[in-house]
Chains A and B, each alone.
Chain A
Amino acid sequence: MPLSFYSSKLADAVNWARKYSLFQYPFVTACCGMEFMALWAPKYDVARFGAEFPRFSPRQADLLIVVGTVTEKQGPVLRRIYDQMCEPKWVIAFGVCASTGGFYQNYSTMPGADQVIPVDVYVPGCPPRPEQALDALILLQERIQRGEGHSQVVLKQEKGFDVPLATIRPTNARDGKSPGIDLVGHGRSVVAPSGSPGDQAKALPPPDEREPPPARGGGA
């Protein structure tokens, strides 16, 4: 069986997990926030789709929801928050202001968040009904499953895969190009490219040379 078969099955599984555990960063700037709160509340209950958990640090979020008007003055902030998010990441523009600038057509309003960051799904409406936002979320979930989020596409183009293939191909992290992060989480650091200073992996012996953990309840 070729490796691509396993990696595509793995991508399906990982994307399935991704779409039902979106950690969102709400970038709420204006009145759309009221409808956005309704989306959270029990009546519409975005928790049914696994996206109820707001993270107020972009580093912990993978879904940026731009809710409300974005001004030119906020442009650098929005761009910076987007850049701080870990890949893969997704963006929803909530409401016409975040999508196109809406009825604001003046010196201060940015005509849509997509002027400075990529957007996956646009939700029209002033403000949108919560059903529309749920529809957008389902649309995004389908897109995540197909691997068509903007960040997934970029990752695939740059690295050839958008899921952590280290789980089935651990040598990949030693080719000197990957960041050298342990993606599997089995407790052993991936060896960084040779010659790099501060190599912590060298201090750690291979698992078979480590001392065995003390037996539980050894006194009995």
Chain B
Amino acid sequence: MAQIILDMLSERFTAGEIVETGAQHGNEWARVAPPAWLQVAEYLLRAPALLMNMFIDLTCVDRLPREPRFDVVLHLYSIEKKHRVRLLAGLPGTSPSVASVASLWPGANWFEREAFDMYGVVFEGHPDLRRILMYPEFQGYPLRKDYPKEKRQPLVRRLPGSV
């Protein structure tokens, strides 16, 4: 569909920055080294032949026990060129962090807060990185695969006799 995106990325960046590329079900993806995350994103937004001006989605995947453990996934689309691409960045299990793209696409703001809330990924340079869904008293990151399924963190003292 949009092999031109992967070609331009491979041409513009080194093999150490664009680690791997591929396509699945007609959608191209590129695995980016975390230090180059913001530069690659900005190039995709500004390059006249690409113009990925629409932010679609940003989320995270916990691939325990693989290392790097977390994959931050960014979906982009170009309204003018009508092509899309998926970026992935593998982050380590201990103190995962990557640059924030909220300065390029303001819509990424709450998505990065959600990924931080659920997986504990720190987005450096984010304007307001705090929990968005869980309450501030919540300890830990509930969508991590090592979070206990049965664990509850009640805000109100349980009534006597309740399970």
Question: What is A's interface to B at a CB cutoff of 8 Å?
Answer: 72-73, 75-76, 79, 105-108, 110-112, 114-118
B154 nearest CB neighbor, chain A only: A72
Interface contact B156-A76, CB-CB below 8 Å? yes
* B contact patch SS: loop
B142 nearest CB neighbor, chain A only: A107
Interface contact B149-A106, CB-CB below 8 Å? yes
CA distance A76 to B137 in the complex (A): 13
Q: A72-B154, A115-B154, A117-B159 are in contact. List 14 more A-B contacts (CB 8 A).
A: A73-B134, A76-B156, A105-B149, A106-B149, A107-B142, A107-B147, A107-B153, A110-B154, A112-B162, A114-B162, A115-B156, A115-B162, A116-B157, A116-B158
Q: Given A73-B135, A116-B158, are A111 and B163 also a contact pair (CB < 8 Å)?
A: yes
A-B interface contact total, Cβ < 8 Å: 46
- In the A-B complex, the 7 residue pairs with the smallest Cβ-Cβ separation, listed nearest first, are A107-B142, A75-B156, A116-B156, A115-B162, A75-B155, A79-B156, A73-B135
- Return B133 CB to nearest CB of chain A, in Å: 8
Chain B residues with Cβ below 8 Å from A73 are 134-135, 155
Interface contact A108-B134, CB-CB below 8 Å? yes
Does B66 make an interface contact (CB < 8 A)? no
Does B25 make an interface contact (CB < 8 A)? no
CA distance A191 to B152 in the complex (A): 50
Interface contact A115-B158, CB-CB below 8 Å? yes
CA distance A107 to B151 in the complex (A): 6
Question: What is B's interface to A at a CB cutoff of 8 Å?
Answer: 133-135, 142, 147, 149-159, 162-163
Chain B residues with Cβ below 8 Å from A79 are 156
- Return A77 CB to nearest CB of chain B, in Å: 9
CA distance A79 to B163 in the complex (A): 17
Interface contact A76-B155, CB-CB below 8 Å? yes
CA distance A189 to B143 in the complex (A): 59
Interface contact B152-A72, CB-CB below 8 Å? yes
CA distance A83 to B32 in the complex (A): 54
CA distance A79 to B157 in the complex (A): 10
Chain B residues with Cβ below 8 Å from A72 are 135, 152-155
Interface contact B156-A114, CB-CB below 8 Å? no
- Return B130 CB to nearest CB of chain A, in Å: 15
Q: Given A73-B134, A73-B135, A114-B162, are A108 and B156 also a contact pair (CB < 8 Å)?
A: no
CA distance A115 to B159 in the complex (A): 6
Interface contact B156-A118, CB-CB below 8 Å? no
A73 nearest CB neighbor, chain B only: B135
CA distance A114 to B154 in the complex (A): 13
- Return A128 CB to nearest CB of chain B, in Å: 22
- Return B151 CB to nearest CB of chain A, in Å: 6
B162 nearest CB neighbor, chain A only: A115
- Return A81 CB to nearest CB of chain B, in Å: 12
